[in-house]
């Protein structure tokens, strides 16, 4: 699905990605974790074509990203902060996105699933953070693409909505999708992830299952295993 080889990116004199190598051949949910400045956001933006690396290559489904914008049709992306036009209603926003991307396969199903139908005629400026995130999730999943990238998907969600999100992610995985997730909520990461990819100074330091991470760090629980990596005790 995704193959990244020898990826390099600098911003000024600061090296963000330093020969990063990552292959995702299997379907499932992969959590991309790491301390601030480790390169997570730059990696995601490179996959999305929003950042152009100085060196290296990215292939999706065997096709290079360079000079190939059409691959983006096969990716659904949920940004950490979605800046919606506040003067639009929810239904108007959904229509606008469909006009840009084409027919949505699962719009009504997701609207009902997240309870967006309860405020679908409200203007976006009048919605709470949690309501906006539910709209964001509907927009992300309604086109049913094989690769999904979620940046902090639990932001603003109440516990019931987080449970619904987990349910949806497990269904999406079962349907054969590849899902990349970034999150600071370790309980959420542990409950949904098949693999953990941990970045450290622009490189992949760890790539494996939750149980393999616990074994590597000699910790019994996931949060302490991640904390061991974040505090630099692995160096």
Report domain extents, the chain.
Answer: 2-230
Please tell me the distance from the alpha carbon of residue 131 to that of residue 40, in angstroms, as a whole number.
26
Q: Show the DSSP H helices in the chain as ranges.
A: 40-48, 90-101, 107-113, 129-141, 159-174, 186-192, 210-217, 222-230
pLDDT number for residue 234: 52
Tokens 């094989």 correspond to: 146
Our separate counts of H helices and E strands in the chain read 8, 10
Output the pLDDT for position 235.
46
∠ CA 71-34-149 to the nearest 5 degrees?
25
User: What is the structure's pLDDT at 154?
Assistant: 96
Q: Cα–Cα–Cα angle for 136, 105, 163, nearest 5°? A: 45
Indicate the angle between helix axes 159-174 and 129-141, nearest 10 degrees: 10
- The domain over range 2-230 is classified in CATH as 3.20.20.60: no
Instruction: Name the pTM for this structure.
Output: 0.92
What token pair was written down for 214? 């616990």
10-residue mean pLDDT profile of the chain (235 residues): values are 93 93 90 92 92 92 80 87 90 94 90 97 95 96 94 95 97 95 95 95 93 94 92 60
pLDDT for position 30: 97
């Amino acid at each position: 699905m995704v193959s990244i080889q020898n990826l390099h990116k600098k911003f000024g004199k600061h090296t963000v990605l330093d020969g990063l190598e990552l292959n995702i051949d299997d379907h499932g949910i992969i959590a991309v974790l790491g301390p601030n400045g480790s390169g997570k956001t730059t990696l995601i933006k490179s996959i999305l074509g929003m950042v152009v690396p100085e060196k290296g290559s990215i292939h999706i489904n065997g096709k290079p990203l360079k000079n190939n914008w059409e691959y983006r049709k096969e990716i659904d992306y949920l940004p950490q902060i979605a800046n919606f036009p506040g003067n639009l209603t929810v239904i108007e926003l959904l229509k606008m996105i469909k006009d840009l991307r084409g027919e949505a396969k699962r719009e009504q199903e997701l609207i009902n699933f997240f309870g967006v139908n309860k405020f679908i005629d409200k203007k976006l400026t009048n919605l709470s953070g949690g309501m906006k995130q539910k709209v964001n999730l509907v927009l992300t999943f309604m086109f049913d693409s094989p690769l999904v990238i979620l940046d902090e998907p639990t932001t603003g969600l109440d516990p019931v909505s987080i449970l619904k999100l987990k349910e949806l992610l497990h269904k999406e995985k079962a349907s054969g999708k590849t899902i990349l997730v970034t999150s600071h909520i370790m309980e959420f990461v542990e409950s949904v992830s098949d693999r953990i990819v941990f970045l450290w100074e622009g490189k992949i330091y760890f790539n494996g299952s939750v149980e393999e991470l616990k074994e590597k760090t000699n910790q019994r629980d996931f949060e302490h295993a991640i904390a061991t990596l974040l505090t630099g005790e692995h160096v």
